[in-house]
Structure 1
Amino acid sequence: MSKSTAGKEKKNKSKGSALLYRPIGLLGGIAAGMISGAVFKQVWKLAANEDDAPGALQSEYRMREVVIAAALQGAIFAATKAAIDRAGARGFSKLTGSWPGD
């Protein structure tokens, strides 16, 4: 088998893996949103002694509070999504023998 043929087969296999993984990734994103929302709510309650985080359009909060809340929420979501995506990719790899991101 030539290098060109082997490269095409690997490329087709990785495209197929990416397509098969897409629904798993979508479900993982939804789960990450739900989980990170619940985690953020609990973290905010502990950090600020308030039930709800400030929204960007709520005039009673200072800019600093709004930006800190948004940054914290984003960091929690990013970490949760990365953990869920990684776990999903590892499970997919064990089942199929190929890594979805390659």
Structure 2
Amino acid sequence: MGIVGKVAYKPVGVLLGIAAGGLAGLVFKQVWKRVSGDDDAPNATDEERGWGEVLAAAALQGAIFALVKAAVDRGGATGVKRLTGRWPT
């Protein structure tokens, strides 16, 4: 993919990243609610929550964000290849 293709894909990638972040946030809230029975995940500075709960929430949130971002990025790249015949770099 030439420089024009890279530049053209960049805004698409940014928009996909924003969408992925929003989707991941929604997925994490639902998963946390089902796993813990609590509507809100703990903040790292929440004095009333233990280390285990705070770290478990952070690990789960990180895994979900990484999974959703990878899926959205891969889907975007696949879509670009279908449209242009070239894989974005």
TM-score normalized with structure 2 length: 0.93
Q: CA deviation at 1:83?
A: 0.5
Partner of 1:37: 25
**Which of 16, 26, 33 is residue 28 of structure 1 equivalent to?**
16
Q: Which amino acid aligns with 1:25?
A: G
Instruction: Give the Cα separation in 2 of the matches to 1:99 and 1:17.
Output: 10
**Unpaired segments of 5 or more residues in structure 2?**
none
Superposed CA RMSD in Å reads 1.1
Q: Are 1:17 and 1:98, in contact at CA under 8 Å, matched by a contact in 2?
A: no
Aligned partner of 2:57 among 49, 56, 69? 69
**Whose Rg is larger?**
1
Query: TM-score normalised to the size of structure 1?
Result: 0.82
* Alignment match, 1:92: 80
Count of paired positions: 89
Q: Does 1:57 align with 2:57?
A: no
Paired amino acid for 1:74: G
Quote the offset at 1:95 in angstroms. Answer: 1.1
Deviations 1:40-74 (A, max 9, x none): 00000110000000001110011111111011001
Could you tell me which runs of 5 or more consecutive residues in structure 1 were left unpaired when the two chains were aligned: 1-9
Percent of pairs identical after alignment?
Answer: 54
